[in-house]
Structure 1
Amino acid sequence: MGPRKCQVCDEAQSKYKCPTCLIPYCSVVCFKKHKEVPCVKPESSSEAKLTSPSGPILHVERSYHVDEPSVVLQQLQLESIASSSEIRDALKDKELQKLIYSIDCSADAENELNKAMEVEAFRMFSDKILSTISPQQ
């Protein structure tokens, strides 16, 4: 395996790997930038991993509390989202990926979601999801 590019700045050759998640980085500056968002040790599985602006996104178990169980998506709704080519195509947009990543990694996800809703591309993406999961009338 040859030299690898820093997955933080995406410019310099990496000299180091994060001791936690093993993403390659080139300097202390990049390491500090990478550590702004907590990372986790990679799982040894054959699952495809998503990527973020700073490298692989690894699955982190979280506990969620839902005040209204009726707002939790059902399996068929999730499958509809996953099988929508329109939604999958929208997810190829790097800016949309960054917005989703910032919401997912935020300690104040609700605030990040509100900020994202000010971006037209995110609103259109949200509308696509809602029209996919809403019962057709």
Structure 2
Amino acid sequence: MQICSVCSEQIPKYRCPACKIRYCSVSCYKKHKDECVPVKQTASPEPDLPVTRNSDGSWTVDDLLDEDDQSDRVPLHRLKQLGESEELKALLCNPHLRQLLLTVDQAESKADIMKATMQEPLFVEFADQCLKIVEPTKDEDSCPMDESL
């Protein structure tokens, strides 16, 4: 478990976009920013993912993930498939599902809210549909075999 690089007391929630240290709060960021020494960006292990901040100043995947999170990274082509899924688009038309997603996004305790939200059949259906795209079974991910062989 990591701890805040500034106060060494809390679990960090954020990462400095310039030097990549982890910090837990706005007050720790304010303390840190005066001493911040930016590091040069290195090449990403996956070339199709960004390594620097976008021109609009938004954060990139590498700003949000550290080495421990790399195994959980979803390939870019799978993320694109999520955005193109008609099944997901249809589910997202449901205002109740959109409200559930907002509640999860805005919750302080993600683990607690996820326990409650996973009791909602609509959310489970949404999560299952996402997983079908992100982690397809071997049957779904491979090409059909030629029956004549």
Q: State the TM-score, normalized to the length of structure 1.
A: 0.51
Q: Which residue of structure 1 lines up, in the alignment, with residue 83 of structure 2?
A: 82
Higher relative contact order (CA 8 A, sep 6+): 1
**In structure 2, distance between residues paired with 1:81 and 1:69:** 19
Identify the structure with the greater helix proportion. Answer: 2
Shift of 1:68: 3.1
Alignment of 1:120-131 (within 5 A): 120-131=121-132
- Structure 1 gap segments, 5+ residues each: 1-59
When you count strand as a share of all residues, which structure comes out higher?
Answer: 1
Unaligned runs of 5+ in 2: 1-57, 139-149
Take 1:82 and 1:61, find their aligned partners in 2: how far apart are those partners?
A: 19
**Residue 99 (structure 2) aligns with:** 98
User: Residue type of the partner of 2:96?
Assistant: E
CA distance in 2, matches of 1:65, 1:79: 19
Distance 2:95 2:126 in 1: 13
Using the TM superposition, name which of 94-103 and 106-115 deviates more: 106-115
Kindly report which structure 2 residues correspond to 1:37-52, keeping only aligned pairs within 5 A, or say none: none
Give 1:69's aligned residue. Answer: 70
Distance of aligned partners of 1:79 and 1:65 in 2 relative to their CA distance in 1, 3 Å threshold: closer
The alignment covers a number of residue pairs equal to 78
Q: What is the percentage of aligned positions where both structures have the same residue?
A: 19
Whole-angstrom distance in 1 between the partners of 2:128 and 2:65:
24
Partner deviation per Cα, 1:19-44 (whole Å, 9 max, x = no partner):
xxxxxxxxxxxxxxxxxxxxxxxxxx
Q: Distance in 1 between matches of 2:110 and 2:64?
A: 12
Which segment is superposed worse, 107-116 or 124-133? Answer: 107-116
Superposition map of 1:9-28 within 5 A:
none
Aligned-pair distance for 1:120? 0.6
CA RMSD of aligned residues (A): 2.2
